Amino acid sequence: MKVDRAMNENDSLVLLATEPGYGFYLPWHHCILALAVLAMVIFVPVNAQPAETACTDLDQPTSRLFLQQVSDHSAIIKWRGPARKVCFGLQSDQLAGVAEGKLVDGHYQVSLTGLEADTAYYYTLGGSGSAAVSHFNTAPKPGQLPADGNIHIWLLGDSGTETEVQGGHPVHQGEALEVLDGFLKYNEEQAVSEPLDLILLLGDNAYLDGTDEQWQGAYFDIYTDLIDSTATWPTIGNHEMGGGPLDICLFRRLPQCEKGPLVSHFGGISRSSNPDSYDSNGDGPDPGGLPYLKIFTLPSKAEQGGVASGTEQYYSFGYGNVHVVSLDSQLSNRDPVQRLAMRDWLIDDLNGNTLDWTVVIFHHPPYSKGQNHDSDVEQNEIDMRQTFAPVFEAHGVDVVYSGHAHSYERSWYLNGHHGLSDTFKPSVHTETDSQGKPLMGQGKEAYQQISSASSADDKAVYTVAGSSGKADKENPCAPGMTLGCSLPNWLAHPAHRTFTDGQPGHRSNGLSLKGSVVLDANRHSLTSRFIDENGQVLDYFTIVRDGS
């Protein structure tokens, strides 16, 4: 559906059909003249009718309704269910626009264009009676801020545990909902109920194999009241890519292990770089392909700013004065040729970026001592650190977010640390105070985007936020075991800020607590907060621009 001009709420509009799925709007006092002109060219609008009539019988249930690619001039609405149309407008009780849905990969999809920047639009899959009306705000123009002066972003890592089943039983039901409740409490009590502008997913948002059914139960059924008004922007995690063979004896000492490896299909273990190899149950590649790429519609052609990547596996977009990059640490990163192609694209993309703030998301953290996920050991994490961290530092990336480890870790303001954890030196790799101690990034120790030490925008903060659906608990490893248990250096990566031991869930360099991250960006500062399941801020840091 193409909107040929933006609707003015003072106009009374009528839809003139030109061809299926297309139309244009005219004020009533121009309709007679327009119809006369159409008659002169022997064109008869077969379905011409008032919009309110076209929208009457669409009040029907849907199984999922969500937004994609909301920009300053466009938005994509996707859903499943019997409805075939979207009714929309500038007022909730005057939904004069009608857009026909197009069936794409099992979802109906409508693309609205010609919208006004930083403007509220209302829509429904029904147009009258008891039909629920949703709404969204378009983005501000590139480089600008919304009317409230702040871009409000919510980040969820490893939140997909609602559908996690082991041994035939759910193991983390309700935990993602607790994190959601914590965010809503924080947002109401401490953020004056500010509407979200973006939802960023850090991967593993549907357990255990990232099937379409698991996406429904772990994401669309959980965040229903947010995702119809705020666009979702995801990245690929290991659980998005199905499963693979795993020797269960690496995790559990079972009697059968005495006879040798006990191999079974397990979600999240795929080591393939090919999305077509997606396997949900161990019987070989699924004919439908990777559900993640079927569910989401992502800007591979630079539709929302940035540089075209040519793939939905990684992409970038702009929202106001924030540039967001989603990298693929699960598939593209596993293949050397694809990894270098992604790096080259990233350099081109960042070279062309002129927005105030740059946010990067991907699943595997470059710096982590999480349980089962050690960035000194796992190749995905090593490759992301060695290949991409130098690019972030050289091209002004401000913050980097990952998941994977089911905990919270947040780095100092880093530059130049691309080796193993035992090579980290605070005096070399961080922004320090006059006594040589790493700055915390809080209060008077807020980080400067232009480093006072180097006079360059060459440092970034790396955050691991993978506890939005569960948090690992201390489980000391038995002799000879390294997986499924916590080693002595659990949550003790020296590149991460320190916490006070002794409080529940607090480790020397991280938190084993459930929660999510809220990121706020304005003209002069960017602030990142970790919000626990009780709605409390347990960590934050701020980066300021221009010496503000």
Q: Which pLDDT does position 84 carry in this prediction?
A: 87
Q: What number is the average pLDDT over the span 328-338?
A: 98
In the prediction, which pLDDT does 22 show? 35
pLDDT tens digits for range 408-433: 999 999 999 999 999 999 999 999 99
Give alpha helix (H) positions in 271-323: 291-295
Average pLDDT over every residue of 246-273: 87
Band of pLDDT at residue 50, cut at 50, 70 and 90: very low
Which are the contacts of 206, defined by CB distance < 8 A and separation ≥ 6?
160, 163, 214, 215, 217, 218, 219, 239, 240, 291
* pLDDT digit string, tens, across residues 55-104: 655 456 788 999 999 999 999 999 998 888 999 999 998 998 999 999 99
118, 138 contact by CB (below 8 A): yes
Q: Please name the residue ranges forming H helices in 99-208.
A: 175-190
pLDDT tens-place string over residues 432-444: 999 999 999 999 9
Q: Reply yes or no on whether the pLDDT at 20 is more than 70.
A: no
pLDDT of 280: 97
Q: CA dist 430 to 366, 381, 412, 440, 517, Å? A: 16, 20, 6, 10, 22
Portion of the chain with pLDDT greater than 70, in percent:
87
| Chain centre to alpha carbon of residue 201 | 3
pLDDT greater than 70 at residue 9: no
Residue 38 has pLDDT above 80, yes or no: no
Q: In the predicted model, is pLDDT for residue 541 greater than 50? A: yes
pLDDT, one tens digit per residue, over 281-325 is 999 999 999 999 999 999 999 999 999 999 999 999 999 999 999
**Does the pLDDT of residue 362 top 70, yes or no?**
yes
Residue 542 confidence (pLDDT): 98
Q: Is 80 exceeded by the pLDDT of residue 25?
A: no
Confidence at residue 55, expressed as pLDDT on a 0 to 100 scale:
61
pLDDT at residue 4 tops 70: no
| pLDDT tens for each residue of 116-160 | 999 999 999 864 445 689 999 999 999 999 999 999 999 999 999
CB–CB of 365/375 below 8 Å?
yes
Average pLDDT over residues 151-178: 96
**How sure is the predictor about 548, in pLDDT bands with cuts at 50, 70 and 90?**
low
Q: What is the percent of the chain with per-residue pLDDT over 90, rounded to a whole number? A: 78
Per the model's pLDDT, the better-predicted residue between 50 and 228 turns out to be: 228
Neighbours of 521 (CB within 10 A): 26
Q: Is the pLDDT of residue 202 over 90?
A: yes
Q: How far apart are CA 124 and CA 89, in angstroms?
A: 10
Residue 37: pLDDT over 80: no
Which segment, 27-31, 38-42, 188-192, is predicted with the most confidence on average? 188-192
Q: What is the overall mean pLDDT for the chain?
A: 89
Higher pLDDT, 509 or 85: 509
Task: Give residue 82's pLDDT.
Answer: 84
β-pairing, 537-544 vs 525-532, is antiparallel
Kindly provide the b/e burial profile for residues 349-381, where b requires at least 16 CB atoms within 10 angstroms of the residue's own CB. bbeebebbbbbbbbbbbbbbbbbbbbbbebebb
Residues in Cβ contact with 385 at an 8 Å cutoff, skipping those fewer than 6 apart? 366, 367, 375, 418
Give me the count of residues in the chain: 548
Residue 11 has pLDDT above 80, yes or no: no
Domains in the chain (CATH in brackets) are 13-137 (2.60.40.380), 151-544 (3.60.21.10)
Rounded mean pLDDT of 455-461? 97
Q: In angstroms, rounded to a whole number, what is the distance separating the alpha carbons of residues 39 and 391?
A: 60
Residue 428: burial class (beta carbons within 10 Å; 0-12, 13-18, 19+): exposed
The beta-strand segments (E) located in 165-222 are 165-166, 169-170, 198-201
Query: In whole angstroms, what is the distance from residue 40 CA to residue 32 CA?
Result: 13
